Structure 1
């Protein structure tokens, strides 16, 4: 039971960014991924989150090969992977309240017969009831990122990808996000933590890989 990239090749147009990359994310562990800006860490994160196409190699989720990306991938496989982006403000609709942001994916959950509660999700990530009625411009970056984290796990994914999820946060807020993600891992979620910060990964991840060493 793993999230695995095997020989992944991906890029943008004629520019290849990833060449034959192998990486495995195991349940219950935080796998760190380090690399400088432009090295392909975010591209690999998006490939594993089924949001960016690959031109070679395979992505498997719990032993099942994923045939495509986006809506070309089976919904059941898409729901197994959650993603938290670097900028919570770029990743949210400024016209939506935190309640709407967290509840965005739950429409699929209802069709699948599950009815997660937004208030329960918010409380899990230390967001009080009064914050749920606020809009992004009315909350801090840390509060908004915690809402994004709640949204990412709303459907109970087996794997969570944090793509520079703490890069825009202050040290105290970074520590809070890292602790919350560690709790998810302790409960069995497999986490890929992408960061340029080696020191952060040294304290956060169970093991860390440099993207330059994965090809």
Structure 2
């Protein structure tokens, strides 16, 4: 069974413009941990956003098919959040709430999980990702590294079946990056599909 399938994906920003993505194909199975590596401007972030159901933010033309856990995210992009965790390359733009704790409970609550359970989940993830000390901090006061860790934690709160991450290690120090990599590997070993988009290799 495939968790993520991209078939014959083409994309361009303008009707008369050149194709930025050309015939992209990708199949991801449960437990796969895949690195997509390339320079800035190669279309990695565009692919990541399209898989995550963020087509709504693009005015360009898309051809092809993208399925995540059986959901056609080009036709029903709003359903992607049910099964997929997404971390943007600019984590600060992804934070939507005043406090870190609010950010971590946002998706669980939107998916119908009650408040007490959502808070419990948030605290468990915060413990794993070493951000418990940030839970009551304003998201506007976070450093770039802290914002990255919060965005990563928020993506993990629903224990998604698939995760798409765009340069997730960019702002992390070595210790935080190491903790995150170990946790992601654990998720993959439990059957989650993970795609990491990066433009540099990290030691």
Q: Calculate the TM-score normalised by the size of structure 1.
A: 0.78
Cα displacement (A) at 1:188 = 1.9
**What's the counterpart of residue 77 of structure 2?**
70
Cα displacement (A) at 1:22 = 0.3
Cα displacement (A) at 1:157 = 1.6
Unaligned runs of 5+ in 1: 204-215
Confirm or deny that 1:98 pairs with 2:105: no
Equivalent residues of 1:87, 1:165 under 8 A apart:
no
User: Cα deviation per residue 1:82-139 (whole Å; 9 max; x = unaligned)?
Assistant: 101122222224x6111011112122222699943222232232222x4210123544
User: Alignment partner for residue 90 of structure 2, among 87, 92, 97?
Assistant: 87
Shift of the 6–155 alpha-carbon distance from structure 1 to 2, 3 Å rule, reads: same
**What's the counterpart of residue 59 of structure 1?**
66
User: Cα deviation per residue 1:34-73 (whole Å; 9 max; x = unaligned)?
Assistant: 11111111111111111126621111223454451533xx
Equivalent residues of 1:82, 1:160 under 8 A apart:
yes
Shift of the 49–114 alpha-carbon distance from structure 1 to 2, 3 Å rule, reads: farther
**What's the counterpart of residue 162 of structure 2?**
159
Provide the alpha-carbon RMSD of the alignment: 2.6
Cα displacement (A) at 1:180 = 2.6
**Higher RCO (CA 8 Å, separation ≥ 6 residues):** 1
Equivalent residues of 2:30, 2:193 under 8 A apart:
yes
Aligned pairs, number = 194
Unaligned runs of 5+ in 2: none
Confirm or deny that 1:187 pairs with 2:194: no
**What's the counterpart of residue 207 of structure 1?**
none
Q: Calculate the TM-score normalised by the size of structure 2.
A: 0.82
SS in 2 for 1:169: coil
Please say which of residues 163-172 and 97-106 is displaced more in the overlay. 163-172
